[in-house]
């Protein structure tokens, strides 16, 4: 029964995605849905930016082991990122009528910076998209009770997501996100109701147990090392995920700048609220089946929540949960698959193609989606990192290489190409050096890289400029 309903859900999702493809007539339709999405769909698709495998499986399992302190990056940093995008970046970037976030770096700093940062952004997606594929494999393995291996499940999930993303682009992402958000909200609320009903003290019992176990300790140890580690984890998602194509793509698909701002803020707020439902459900397992939780914490903590649902809830609750889980994963996977594909085609490949008719360019983007989808699937099949680790590590790249040039380019009039180049070089250089030599040192490598990037931008912009003429020429061409 459960597998039948899940199969029907997958067919409906594919159908919606393929139906959305009928709206795609140009590359702008494909990349930013023709900049025509209303507030409710913009909010849904921004919400779906983060509500994926890392929220349902990764964050909840990390909370079981480390408490609130362990999940400072997600949902705290992740939700703040979306709100910051809405408040500080959405309006200014929307007015520029950009197709990708890479276009901003070309207009502000020139082709060389555009190329370097676009490649860095693409690299950051490798772990994130692979995490979604791994989660799909995990879900299919659980649903089939081991009949489908995780690797085979990864391949099945990848085929489904690649199929409807290729044809519909951002329109498929937007419409499936809206449908999937409804399933996520209803499914999580219903399962929460069922699980709470199995506890004598209800929600209060879970909260008291977690508090007594020290799981609500949020702030770091009052030591320099503890504070720096806390800031490093928090800022990785809070700032490092701002210069990302999928966040930009969703916000820029809004029908006007006011919708872009409101959609980002509302999406981030809803994400923060609903991210705690899977955390609550996973911790409830301690009170329902402590033996099961203890065993899985030593093998694979990501299985705690799906195992709880499979063993301790009725079939309809299982249908709602796995429908919500698949919705969360697929909505994130489709958006994160489309984002690096479009930024590669627009900002890396297109300048080498010369004048290309828009219809042909659209075919090229779809081909890149397919190629990137195959590549991340292979990466997922060979990865040994947890879902939470893959997602958190993805944003270190953009934190040290892209955030400072973006923020300075938007808000500092003195920011120039030389500043951007020095910022990227110092930020990425310090980060890579510390990751290789002292990954567990006093300074988290990505935090040290961020500081170096800020210093590089200020120094590079204020020192005598050797590449100012190149920057001015690039800007005038726009």
Pairwise CA distance, residues 26 & 360, whole Å: 10
Give me the residues paired with residue 254 across strands: 37
Residue 149: DSSP 8-state: -
Give yes or no for a contact between 86 and 250, defined as CB atoms under 8 angstroms apart: no
How do residues 304-325 score in pLDDT, each as one tens digit? 888 999 899 998 888 888 888 8
Residue 469's pLDDT band (cuts 50, 70, 90): very low
Q: Is the pLDDT of residue 7 over 90?
A: no
Pairwise CA distance, residues 334 & 313, whole Å: 29
How many other C-beta atoms can be found within 10 angstroms of the C-beta atom of residue 429?
A: 16
Q: At what angle do helices 2-20 and 111-143 cross, to 10 degrees?
A: 150
Residue 408's pLDDT band (cuts 50, 70, 90): very high
**Local structure of 415: helix, strand or coil:** coil
Nearest to 28 by CA among 244, 249, 354, 178: 249
Nearest to 240 by CA among 61, 408, 403, 15: 403
* Mean pLDDT, rounded, for 156-171: 89
* Mean pLDDT, rounded, for 220-232: 93
The token duo for 403 is 């955030």
Least confident of 168-182, 306-320, 381-395, 454-468: 381-395
Mean pLDDT of the chain: 89
The token duo for 375 is 């590549």
Q: Is the pLDDT of residue 123 over 90?
A: no
Predicted local confidence at residue 180, as pLDDT = 80
Predicted local confidence at residue 385, as pLDDT = 62
* Mean pLDDT, rounded, for 118-123: 89
Give yes or no for a contact between 444 and 232, defined as CB atoms under 8 angstroms apart: yes
Evaluate the CA torsion angle 209, 210, 212, 213 in order and state its sign. Answer: positive
Give yes or no for a contact between 387 and 54, defined as CB atoms under 8 angstroms apart: yes
**Local structure of 422: helix, strand or coil:** helix
- Helix/strand/coil (H, E, C) string of 273-328? HHCHHHHHHHHHHHHHCHHHHHHHHCCCHHHHHHHHHHHHCCHHHHHHHHHHHHHH
Predicted local confidence at residue 470, as pLDDT = 45
Pairwise CA distance, residues 478 & 473, whole Å: 9
Predicted local confidence at residue 253, as pLDDT = 94
Q: Is the pLDDT of residue 441 over 80?
A: yes
Percentage, residues of the chain above pLDDT 90: 54
Predicted local confidence at residue 391, as pLDDT = 61
Q: Is the pLDDT of residue 456 over 80?
A: yes
Give yes or no for a contact between 113 and 421, defined as CB atoms under 8 angstroms apart: yes
CA 127, chain centre distance (Å): 10
Residue 414's pLDDT band (cuts 50, 70, 90): very high
Phi-psi region of 67 (alpha: psi -120 to 50; beta: other; left: phi over 0): left
Q: How big is the chain by its Cα radius of gyration, in Å? A: 22
**Local structure of 37: helix, strand or coil:** strand
How do residues 350-396 score in pLDDT, each as one tens digit? 988 888 898 899 999 999 999 999 998 998 888 766 555 656 667 89
The token duo for 88 is 């500080």
CA 190, chain centre distance (Å): 25
Nearest to 340 by CA among 363, 380, 368: 368
């Amino acid at each position: 029964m459960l597998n039948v309903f899940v199969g029907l859900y997958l067919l409906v999702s594919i159908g919606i995605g393929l139906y959305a493809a009928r709206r795609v007539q140009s590359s702008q339709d494909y990349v930013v849905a023709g900049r025509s999405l209303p507030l409710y769909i913009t909010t849904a698709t921004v919400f779906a930016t983060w509500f994926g495998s890392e929220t349902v499986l990764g964050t909840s399992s990390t909370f079981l082991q480390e408490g609130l302190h362990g999940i400072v990056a997600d949902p705290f940093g992740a939700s703040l990122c979306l709100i910051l995008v809405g408040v500080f970046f959405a309006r200014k970037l929307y007015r520029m009528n950009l197709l990708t976030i890479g276009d901003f770096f070309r207009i502000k700093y020139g082709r060389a910076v555009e190329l370097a940062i676009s490649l860095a952004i693409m690299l950051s997606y490798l772990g994130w998209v692979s995490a979604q594929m791994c989660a799909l494999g995990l879900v299919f393995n659980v649903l089939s009770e081991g009949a489908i291996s995780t690797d085979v499940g990864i391949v099945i999930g990848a085929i489904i997501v690649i199929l409807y993303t290729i044809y519909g682009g951002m329109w498929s992402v937007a419409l499936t996100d809206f449908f999937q958000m409804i399933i996520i909200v209803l499914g999580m609320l219903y399962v929460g109701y069922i699980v709470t009903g199995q506890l004598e003290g209800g929600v209060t019992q879970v909260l008291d147990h977690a508090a007594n176990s020290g799981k609500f300790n949020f702030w770091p140890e009052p030591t320099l090392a503890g504070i720096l580690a806390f800031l490093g984890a928090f800022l990785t998602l809070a700032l490092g995920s701002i210069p990302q194509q999928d966040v930009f793509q969703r916000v820029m698909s809004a029908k006007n700048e006011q919708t872009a701002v409101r959609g980002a803020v509302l999406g981030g707020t809803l994400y923060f609220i609903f991210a705690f439902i899977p955390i609550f459900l996973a911790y409830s397992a301690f009170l329902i089946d402590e033996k099961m939780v203890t065993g899985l914490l030593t093998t694979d903590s990501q299985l705690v929540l799906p195992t709880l649902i499979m063993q301790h809830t009725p079939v309809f609750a299982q249908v709602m949960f796995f429908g919500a889980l698949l919705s969360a994963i697929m909505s994130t996977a489709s958006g994160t698959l489309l984002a690096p594909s479009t930024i590669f085609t627009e900002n890396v490949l297109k300048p080498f193609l010369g004048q290309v008719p828009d219809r042909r360019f659209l075919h090229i983007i779809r081909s890149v989606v397919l190629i990137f989808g195959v590549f991340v699937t292979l990466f997922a099949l060979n990865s040994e990192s947890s879902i939470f680790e893959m997602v958190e590590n993805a944003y270190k790249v953009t934190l040290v290489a892209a955030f400072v040039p973006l923020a300075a380019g938007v808000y500092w009039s003195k920011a120039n190409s030389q500043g951007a180049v020095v910022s990227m070089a110092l930020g990425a250089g310090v980060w890579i050096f510390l990751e290789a030599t002292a990954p567990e040192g006093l300074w988290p490598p990505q935090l040290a890289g961020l500081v170096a990037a800020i210093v590089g931008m200020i120094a590079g912009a204020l020192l005598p400029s050797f590449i100012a003429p190149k920057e001015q020429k690039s800007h005038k061409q726009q």
